[in-house]
Amino acid sequence: MICAMSETPADDVNSPWERAFAEARAAAARGEAPIGACVVKDGEILAAAGNRTIEDHDPTAHAEVLALREAARKLRDERLIGCDLYVTLEPCAMCAGAISFARIRRLYFAAEDEKGGAVENGPRFFAQKTCHHRPEVYGGIRAGEAAELLRDFFKARR
């Protein structure tokens, strides 16, 4: 189930969205693609990360994967039952697979990724009959803000 949400920013500086966007801005400052993710359980932020593929020399160091890894370590469980993931860009196929295997309850994402996304675009990972776990999906939250952050980052690099 994919639902569009409003673009109303959160007021709370400790909100999952504010944390995910802060991680995205920090990634951009390090020269990484400005994508941030945050894992939440019972209203508590368990983990947050920004992309680190260049810094870590690791093609799997996407914000989502890093946040899922940290949350799993904190909970001492590979299954993040009851956890929600907030991410500033529609997850790719690799990240969608990790989200499914982690058993994330709800996925919230900001901007769609027509080229590399795998939730509403591309392979539509969670709609495949081979997908073992499908989170509830809510896209388009603060999409304009996320798209602008990405546009500005890549424009400056050209």
pLDDT-based confidence at 114, cuts 50/70/90? very high
Give just the sign of the alpha carbon dihedral 20, 21, 27, 29: negative
**DSSP character string of 46-71:** EEEEE--TTTTT-TT--HHHHHHHHH
Instruction: For 41-69, write each residue's pLDDT tens digit.
Output: 999 999 999 999 999 999 999 999 999 99
pLDDT-based confidence at 38, cuts 50/70/90? very high
Give just the sign of the alpha carbon dihedral 64, 128, 117, 87: negative
Q: What are phi and psi of 134, to 5 degrees?
A: -115, 115
Alpha-carbon gap, residue 28 to 136, rounded angstroms: 29
Closest by CA to 45, choosing from 78, 10, 11, 70, is 70
Residue type, 105: R
**From edge to edge, which strands make up the β-sheet containing 106-111?**
2-4, 136-139, 106-111, 83-89, 36-41, 44-50
Residues 6+ apart with CB under 8 A from 6: 141
Closest by CA to 43, choosing from 23, 76, 19, is 19
pTM of structure: 0.91
Q: Which residues pair with 40 in a beta bridge?
A: 45, 84
With a cut of 90, say whether residue 130 has pLDDT above it. yes
Which residues have a catalytic role annotated?
64
Look at the block and give the residue holding tokens 């996320």: 146
pLDDT value, residue 158: 78
Exposure string over 35-68, b if 16+ CB within 10 A, otherwise e: bbbbbbbeeebbbbbbbbbeeeeeeebbbbbbbb
